[in-house]
Structure 1
Amino acid sequence: MATNLANKVIVITGGGGGIGSTTADKYLEQGAKLVILLDNDEKNGADTAKQLTTKYGENKAIFIKCDLTSDVDEVSKRIFENYTVDVLVNNAGIYDETKLKLTINVNVTAVIELGLKFWNHMRKDKGGRGGTIINLASIYGYRVDPYISIYQASKFAVMGFTRSLGHADNFKRSGVRVVAICPGFTRTNMTAKLTTTDSDLMQEFDEYTKNLPWQAVEAVGGAAVDVFQRAESGTAWLIEGGKPIEEVKS
Structure 2
Amino acid sequence: MSANNMEEVLMELTGKNIVYVGGFGGIGLETCKQLLQKGVANLMILGKAWNESAYKELNSVDPQRVCQFIEFDVTCGLERTRTVFAQIAEKFGNIDMLINGASISDEKDYNLIIATNFTGTINATLVAYDLMDKSRGGKGGVVVNISSVAALTPFHVLPIYSATKGGILNFTRALAHLEPKTGITLYTICPGITDTKHWDNVHCFQGKYLGLKERSRHAFPSQSTLDCATNIIKAIQAHKNGSTWMCDLGQLKMVEIKNFWFPNKENKNGEQCCKPECG
Task: Give the structure-2-normalised TM-score.
Answer: 0.81
Task: Name the structure where helix makes up a greater proportion of residues.
Answer: 1
Q: How does 1:61-210 map to 2 (within 5 A)?
A: 61-70=67-76, 71-83=80-92, 84-167=94-177, 170-198=178-206, 202=210, 207=215, 210=218
Partner of 2:237: 229
User: Counterpart of 1:162 in 2: which secondary structure?
Assistant: helix
Residues in 2 aligned to 1:149 and 1:209: alpha-carbon distance in whole angstroms: 21
**1:2 Cα deviation (Å)?**
7.6
Moved more, 130-139 or 80-89: 80-89
Q: Is the 8 A contact 2:202 2:212 kept in 1?
A: no
**1:9 Cα deviation (Å)?**
1.1
Compare CA radii of gyration and give the structure with the larger one: 2
Residues in 2 aligned to 1:203 and 1:23: alpha-carbon distance in whole angstroms: 26
Residues in 2 aligned to 1:94 and 1:106: alpha-carbon distance in whole angstroms: 7
Q: Is the 8 A contact 1:87 1:131 kept in 2?
A: yes
Q: Is the 8 A contact 1:14 1:37 kept in 2?
A: yes
Q: 1:117-149: per-residue Cα shift (whole Å, max 9, x none)? A: 111211222211111110000001121242101
**1:247 Cα deviation (Å)?**
1.0
Identical pairs, percent: 28
Residues in 1 aligned to 2:214 and 2:26: alpha-carbon distance in whole angstroms: 22
Counterpart amino acid of 2:21? T
Q: 1:155-182: per-residue Cα shift (whole Å, max 9, x none)? A: 0110011100112xx1111111010100
Moved more, 157-166 or 124-133: 124-133
For the aligned residue pairs, the C-alpha RMSD in angstroms reads 2.2
Q: Is the 8 A contact 2:36 2:65 kept in 1?
A: no
1:54 maps to 2:63:
no
Residues in 1 aligned to 2:102 and 2:232: alpha-carbon distance in whole angstroms: 14
Partner of 2:253: 246
The 1:17/1:165 distance shift into structure 2, 3 A limit, reads: same
User: Counterpart of 1:116 in 2: which secondary structure?
Assistant: helix
Stretches of structure 2 lacking an aligned partner (at least 5 in a row): 1-8, 258-279
The 1:9/1:203 distance shift into structure 2, 3 A limit, reads: closer
Residues in 1 aligned to 2:88 and 2:63: alpha-carbon distance in whole angstroms: 21
Moved more, 72-81 or 31-40: 72-81
**1:47 Cα deviation (Å)?**
3.5
**1:4 Cα deviation (Å)?**
0.6
Residues in 2 aligned to 1:227 and 1:25: alpha-carbon distance in whole angstroms: 16
Q: How does 1:8-27 map to 2 (within 5 A)?
A: 8-27=16-35
The 1:47/1:64 distance shift into structure 2, 3 A limit, reads: farther
Counterpart amino acid of 1:249? E
**1:49 Cα deviation (Å)?**
2.8
Residues in 1 aligned to 2:118 and 2:190: alpha-carbon distance in whole angstroms: 15
**1:206 Cα deviation (Å)?**
6.0
Counterpart amino acid of 1:10? I
User: Counterpart of 2:181 in 1: which secondary structure?
Assistant: helix
Residues in 1 aligned to 2:85 and 2:114: alpha-carbon distance in whole angstroms: 20
Counterpart amino acid of 1:124? K
Q: Is the 8 A contact 2:201 2:209 kept in 1?
A: no
